[in-house]
Structure 1
Amino acid sequence: MEKSNATVDSRSVGRLSKSERRQQLLETARLIVREEGADRLTLAHLAVRAGVSKPVTYEHFETRTGLLIELYRWIDTERLTAFRIAMAQGSRPAKQTILALAKAYLACGTDQGDEFHSVGAALAGSEEKLTVYQELVDNVVEMFVAVLRPHSSLQAEALALASMALVAAGDALTSAVTRGNCSASEAAEVFATLIGAVAHDQP
């Protein structure tokens, strides 16, 4: 299918508030990464695709690295929000909680496709990326701790450390699914086993 050079939507025409314009630019940037690859994401090209002048994109992001970082954070925040919604289904028995946690985290990761990883790769070596990445990891770890605390006998500090390891394992399994190295169900089964070990309640 031929790639479209259309903008994300018609909001690029007419006046938008600053927050609406920023949202439109991020959506357009994500579309560029999806259709053309992260290497094509520049402030100048974003302006063309979004139907705005170059000064508008520079006003919002200042540099290409700044744009990539904000896109990276936005995609991951969207993933974490979906993850929280998926887990906010009321109380479950331990085994159901563990399996739901495994499936929800992997699903939220794979639903982003290659975009999150592509943007991350484009930021490789960036000191700013390391700071943002740690911030995002901390948010996810807090979510894992909150979900697992009722089902684990580990002390708070140990549970937090174990959750860090689980997040790393979950990201590795997400990448494996995205690359086609295993199926989503296979990854979920392995991840649930790892989570079960932390919760001392194997699914």
Structure 2
Amino acid sequence: MRKKNSMETKASEGHASRRLSSAQRRRQLLDTALSIVREEGADSLTLGHLAKRAGVSKPVVYDHFGTRSVLLIELYKSIDTQQSEALRTALASGTRSVKGTAKLLASTYIHCSATTDGDWQAVGAALAGSKEKDAVYQELLDGYVRLFALVLQPHAALPPEELERRCAALIGAGEALSTSMVRGTCSEAQAAETFAALILGSLRSTQR
């Protein structure tokens, strides 16, 4: 009787699983891929292993991603999207002083890195040397530069080009601090405090 119930349950789950839309299936596969990275490491993430963990056939995974590199790229972008959306949400409301803006910008950016628990860095490391990764990485960083410039513009009397250059430098510093935090060489609070100081320092001579 137990065996029958178990089989019925699996059949029911499989039937429900087949009803997933393409977008839902893709989200499920990316969530499962992230679980593999967290539990087993990025080196264990293959299309075959993902299919097994997700309970689908290999062709389903290949239809969505094609190659392991594409899967890693899409996972990399997915993790970043969650970070950037959290950052935009935190910055969306209210007007703040330059110090308040720097503090919120720094703390939110660093916290976003903390919540990934090194996932973004791990997937990035698995993509090391990939031309696709370099292009995507630069695209994502450029997005953060534009966001920082937009948020800091009211507090800086700088030409747009100079402000973007300074924001590019700040993003580089933020990434370095995030990496130090993930490695355990500093706490999240310490990384955020240092980052806020750097943001203020980049604007100090040009504040309105």
Could you tell me the TM-score, scaled by structure 2's length? 0.89
Q: 1:101 aligns with which of 80, 95, 105?
A: 105
After superposition, give the CA deviation of every residue in 1:124-166 in whole Å (9 maximum; x if it has no partner). Answer: 0000001111110111111100110000112100110110110
For residues 11 and 49 of structure 1, do their structure 2 counterparts lie closer, same or farther at Cα, with a shift above 3 Å needed?
farther
Which residue does 2:17 correspond to in 1?
13
User: Which runs of structure 2 are paired with 1:1-203 in the superposition (5 Å)?
Assistant: 13-200=17-204
CA distance in 1, matches of 2:47, 2:165: 39
Shift of 1:199: 2.0
1:135 and 1:74 mapped to 2: Cα distance?
Answer: 13
Which letter maps to 1:77? T
Q: Is the Cα contact below 8 Å between 1:153 and 1:200 reproduced in 2?
A: no
Deviation at 1:10, TM superposition (A): 8.8
Paired with 2:58 and 2:14, the residues of 1 have a C-alpha distance of 18
* 1:69-97 Cα deviation digits (max 9, x unpaired): 00000100110000111111311111111
Deviations 1:31-51 (A, max 9, x none): 000000000000000000000
CA distance in 2 between counterparts of 1:179 and 1:12 reads 41
Q: Which residue of 2 aligns with 1:3?
A: none
Question: Which SS does the other structure have where 1:90 is aligned?
Answer: coil
Structure 1 vs Structure 2: percent identity of aligned residues? 52
Separation in 2, partners of 1:77, 1:201: 33
Separation of aligned partners in 2, 1:99 and 1:52? 45
TM-score norm. by structure 1 comes to 0.91
Structure 1 or 2: larger helix share? 2
| Conservation of the 8 A alpha-carbon contact between 1:69 and 1:129 | yes
Task: Write the distance in 2 (CA, Å) between the matches of 1:19 and 1:26.
Answer: 11
The separation in 1 between residues aligned to 2:63 and 2:94, in whole angstroms, is 43
Match of 1:5 in 2: none
CA distance in 2, matches of 1:42, 1:76: 20
Counterpart-to-counterpart distance in 2, 1:90 and 1:31: 36
Could you say what secondary structure the match of 2:20 adopts?
coil
Q: Give the number of aligned pairs.
A: 194
Deviation of the 1:201 alpha carbon:
7.0
Whose radius of gyration is greater, 1 or 2?
A: 2
Q: Which runs of 5+ in 1 are unaligned?
A: 1-8
